[in-house]
Structure 1
């Protein structure tokens, strides 16, 4: 239930972790953890069946060397790596790409299932289609204060700690619900694609990047004329369908390039390009550098 898998592309970048304190019960697993990376690298973290919250403890945070801020992004989304905030949230069933520099700090890792907590058992906890880049840098004063109080309780348990933690987690879960699940319901309006249609298009493009060349095929899958699909897609996302397809292919290429064992030409074919030359040209136009230069930058290597 509470497994989090760290998959390192570069074994020499594997971090060292130690747990200073931990409280576990039905519905939650919380620990104060020290982490240290002696070299830069990229990892994939999978949040399985639990919500994952991380609070970096500022008083214990240190940097061993100036390198690059820790960055991350959700896999499969059209977004670049962004700097992570003090409070980070990963919904269950999500995959997160984490890029770290040379660093050493202490944090609280909180894994919990809101549906197991008695006061929240009757509430719908559907995180599907609610991924938001704001989850990587939660700026809610309420959430941060609650997380800090939770960390204090885990570090030094007191009277009725279990009850106190359940109360804190209940408030945290409700705040997350208000921020990310409730607004999703008001986004469905006339003149836009439904969440199911957007999800279907993403799945089709992920499975077959070359399909992006045919708006007609995508329109047939949504059971509407190509011109209508293009119009509704622009109303929903703010991007033309062709622009979105181009960005999707480049973002997928960025993810594949993190695996230094994969050849550039393999990346080009897997992202729907006919040859490495056209891939390099499209990548440079979108990112501002060649695929090889991007790979070296993410590995912390000077080109």
Structure 2
């Protein structure tokens, strides 16, 4: 029911999948289980909007076999903003998320790690503060491995359990390396961000432009100090993090102003400004035009 927070998953035995309690329909189409590692294809749907709590009881990777629903979100640690899901997402064991589910239908390949061997790999290879969730894993080897496993589960060949276990355990290592964030306090003054770290930070900023973006919160999300984040970001991008966020707000405003039916006060809120006056002043300083003047110029062009 909309507006009612409830547990999104039903606790089950180690060998069974977690079934969302809020779904109108849920079915496991096919599955392969290997030493506590479960690979399955799930088909489920919501017929109404609802708010819930999602608590993965194992390390959880899912690979979308169809489009993701727009508007559905998982919000970690009580935050109001989170990036949208990509083709692959990872949620760590023991994490908790507030979730917003919109009427939608999903078909996903899901990989969960519940055995001691896999858990040992996660703990040993992960950073000391544990792996962070990632809503859009873009590592090519992980995408390739999940696609191969989804095909194996859909149409099992010779020794499917051995195939699942072998590929899944190697993917644990790839995932840990992909999500491992540098946090050394003695990083050199010329240190730079890796491409995937920069991409994740940019996605986090883009998803949070409508609200207050704190450098401290961004640094905490990345598991580094604010000083380290600001220094490595400037070394990588060539501008300060604060300037980048300010520019990102203006760029979003430009995109929305092209839509002549969008109210300027709504655009101001979408870009994180508390008032139309503050938005107009910042926009004019950045572009030399008022928001209304920019719209007129663009529409004439």
Higher helix share: 1
Deviations along 1:93-123, one digit per CA (max 9) or x if unpaired, are 11123322211121112111475259x7697
2:59 to 43, 51, 54: 51
Go from structure 1 to structure 2 and tell me whether the alpha carbon gap of 1:122 and 1:23 turns closer, same or farther (over 3 Å shift): closer
Go from structure 1 to structure 2 and tell me whether the alpha carbon gap of 1:162 and 1:147 turns closer, same or farther (over 3 Å shift): same
State the 1:81 CA deviation: 2.9
Cα distance in 2 between the residues matched to 1:39 and 1:89:
25
1:189 equivalent in structure 2: 185
Asked if 1:30 corresponds to 2:39, the answer is yes
Cα distance in 1 between the residues matched to 2:130 and 2:135:
13
2:29 equivalent in structure 1: 20
Cα distance in 1 between the residues matched to 2:112 and 2:137:
16
Go from structure 1 to structure 2 and tell me whether the alpha carbon gap of 1:128 and 1:90 turns closer, same or farther (over 3 Å shift): farther
Deviations along 1:145-196, one digit per CA (max 9) or x if unpaired, are 1111111111111101111111211221111111123xx4x412149xxxxx
Asked if 1:129 corresponds to 2:129, the answer is yes
2:248 equivalent in structure 1: none
Go from structure 1 to structure 2 and tell me whether the alpha carbon gap of 1:189 and 1:87 turns closer, same or farther (over 3 Å shift): same
1:87 equivalent in structure 2: 88
SS in 2 for 1:18: strand
SS in 1 for 2:96: strand
Deviations along 1:179-232, one digit per CA (max 9) or x if unpaired, are 123xx4x412149xxxxxxxxxxxxxxxxxxxxxxxxxxxxxxxxxxxxxxxx9
Cα distance in 1 between the residues matched to 2:100 and 2:60:
18
Q: Which runs of 5+ in 2 are unaligned?
A: 1-13, 188-223, 231-268, 275-301
1:146 equivalent in structure 2: 145
1:166 equivalent in structure 2: 165
1:245-260 pair list within 5 angstroms = none
Whether the aligned pair in 2 keeps the contact of 1:47 and 1:94 (CA below 8 Å) is yes
Go from structure 1 to structure 2 and tell me whether the alpha carbon gap of 1:147 and 1:38 turns closer, same or farther (over 3 Å shift): same
Go from structure 1 to structure 2 and tell me whether the alpha carbon gap of 1:117 and 1:80 turns closer, same or farther (over 3 Å shift): closer
Cα distance in 2 between the residues matched to 1:92 and 1:233:
24
Normalized against structure 1, the TM-score is what? 0.52
Give the number of equivalent residue pairs.
188
Whether the aligned pair in 1 keeps the contact of 2:42 and 2:107 (CA below 8 Å) is yes
1:1-303 pair list within 5 angstroms = 1=14, 4=18, 6=20, 14-48=23-57, 50-58=58-66, 61=67, 68-76=70-78, 78=79, 80-113=81-114, 115-116=116-117, 124-126=124-126, 129-132=129-132, 135-181=134-180, 184=181, 186-190=182-186, 234-235=226-227
